[in-house]
Structure 1
């Protein structure tokens, strides 16, 4: 909607375009999902050869277990393992008020750049998002939303959202081309720093991580609910 307003598209035309695209996109996604279930071996398995590990699907599956099978009362009620998380409702309600009071006293304080609902809701995407995703977002946002806007405001106001849309479209096309040309044909990806650097991090060097090996009969978390 913001981009449509920026491009001065008639609101009624924009609404129907989004409505039709939503319906069509839903049908296409269901069709692709049905095809994937029948055509891709070991879909969502950890050792799937093309890395179709379904991180988003696993998040929803785990949420189903938490809120459906186990139930919130056994996890978040008084005396239970995650009871302390309920206090974040109080924190979420109080911090914006503190932010507002600070800005009333010091209007030019750096606190004005903090948006607590975005800050807290953004962490809800972890998992499946990783710190790598967030650092990339921050770097691009600071470059275009602060430095470019500050130095070349006229260029920013004219081209920033168009560039954003172009990058989104380019990512979608690149993902499709990479899938058809490399993943689908089981072609090895090029070996260069941009692809290999992730393998040098502590996340992938499992032997150096702090691990707790469960003994026979032990379980991660409560043994019973």
Structure 2
């Protein structure tokens, strides 16, 4: 079907690929919304349900923070963080300059020039909903292949590193589909381990705003060890 459409429609390959992806995603979203009961509703979903929509929830929370509540009550004088956090952008702007100055001051320290603050800071933008487990595995694999293998087995790195990166991405996608059809769709088994056990703190959902009190929450309860 895709081949016949590509031959009949006057579209270039990139445009046809974009059209195919858009249609596929739209159809999948439509199917999920109609087939998964209570999708994206944590309160009524069964335990360990994979349909909690963490990415969409982060987008919704950001819309509430910036649109409904307003930045003044979050990051301004009426919020809990204070006005000092509004100047943290200077750290991101001056950080690369500091790394450059350190490299000029200590030219023999080759590891300094490997520090890429835009990558390190920009990657944290996905921290919600990603967990620390995602970042530790990223650091471990990246350090192993892009530092040790690159330094001591450069020929192997030049020949296979790009293929390895594509294989890891494809493996994640393949295993996601395999686990869904073999385990999740039929609810054959449930995975129980500390990485899927939530916040490990029963007070993690307690409000921290001043003057707001909820039954079962105390001012000290919001600070979990």
Relative to structure 2, which stretch is displaced further, 38-47 or 156-165? 38-47
Q: 1:30 to 1:64 in 2, by over 3 A?
A: same
Number of the residue aligned with 1:53: 52
Q: Would the aligned equivalents of 1:198 and 1:204 in 2 still touch at CA under 8 Å? A: no
CA contact (8 A) 1:43 1:52 kept: yes
- Unaligned ranges ≥5, structure 2: 1-11, 213-225
Residues of 1 paired with 2:210 and 2:160: CA distance?
Answer: 54
The TM-score with structure 2 as length reference comes to 0.76
Distance 2:137 2:157 in 1: 20
Q: CA RMSD in A?
A: 2.7
In the TM superposition, what is the alpha-carbon distance from 1:174 to its structure 2 partner? Answer: 1.5
1:33 and 2:29 equivalent?
yes
- SS at 1:137's partner residue? helix
Contact between 2:58 and 2:129, CA under 8 Å: does it hold in 1? yes
Give the length in aligned residue pairs: 196
C-alpha distance in 1 between matches for 2:139 and 2:13: 31
Of residues 94-103 and 44-53 in structure 1, the stretch that sits farther from structure 2 once superposed is 44-53
CA distances 1:93-130 after superposition (whole Å, capped 9, x unpaired)? 12211111111121232322211111211222111011
1:137 deviates by 0.3
Deviations 1:135-190 (A, max 9, x none): 0001111111111112211111011101111221122111111111211111115x
Equivalent in the alignment of 1:221: 209
User: Runs of 5+ in structure 1 lacking a partner?
Assistant: 1-15, 190-194
The structure whose residues are more often helix, as a share, is 1
Contact 1:76 1:85 in 2 (8 A): yes
